[in-house]
């Protein structure tokens, strides 16, 4: 999936104005990089379009331990959107990532996240 298709898909899936799709995407990927191990963030980045790789640079080798609510709060703050918009953006983002990367890679990403992420994106482990 190329960058434009990725962003168009996020915009279609997230009930937010199109101008919020890019900040939401960047905020979600940056927060995901904090939540995943560096190796997993790098693996995910390797399967995404080039403009989406940079936000996935993990700040530390270890994953930070925080749940979905904190994830949503971080995305909300970074993107400058309401928590409700952030939740919908994260849902749209993860479902688009699911379509953009191999099923094995998506399973690896989801295996590092709490179960409530699976419910959000509708992805069984």
Model pLDDT for residues 62-117, shown as the tens digit of each residue: 999 999 999 999 999 999 999 999 999 999 999 999 999 999 999 999 999 999 99
Q: Is the pLDDT of residue 124 over 80?
A: no
For 43, 50, 71, the CA distances from 86, given in Å and listed in that order, are 24, 23, 9
CA distance 75 to 68: 10
* Mean pLDDT across 4-23: 91
pTM of the entire structure? 0.93
The predicted-structure confidence for 20-61, as pLDDT tens digits, reads as follows 999 999 999 999 999 999 999 999 999 999 999 999 998 788
What pLDDT score was predicted for residue 59? 79
> With 90 as the cut, is the pLDDT of residue 3 above it?
yes
**How would residue 123 be classed by pLDDT, with cut points 50, 70 and 90?**
low
For residues 12 and 115, give the distance between their C-alpha atoms in angstroms, rounded to a whole number.
25
pLDDT of residue 105: 96
SS3 assignment, position 57: coil
pLDDT of residue 125: 43
């Amino acid at each position: 999936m190329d960058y434009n298709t990725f962003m168009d898909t996020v915009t279609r899936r997230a009930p937010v104005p199109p101008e919020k799709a890019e900040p939401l995407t960047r905020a979600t990927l940056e927060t995901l990089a904090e939540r995943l191990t560096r190796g997993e963030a790098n693996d995910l980045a390797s399967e995404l379009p080039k403009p989406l790789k940079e936000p996935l640079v993990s700040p530390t080798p270890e994953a930070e331990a925080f749940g979905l609510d904190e994830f949503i709060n971080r995305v909300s703050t970074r993107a400058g959107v309401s928590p409700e918009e952030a939740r919908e953006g994260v849902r749209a983002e993860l479902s688009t990532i699911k379509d953009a990367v191999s099923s094995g890679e998506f399973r690896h990403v989801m295996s590092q996240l709490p179960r409530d992420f699976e419910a959000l994106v509708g992805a069984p482990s």
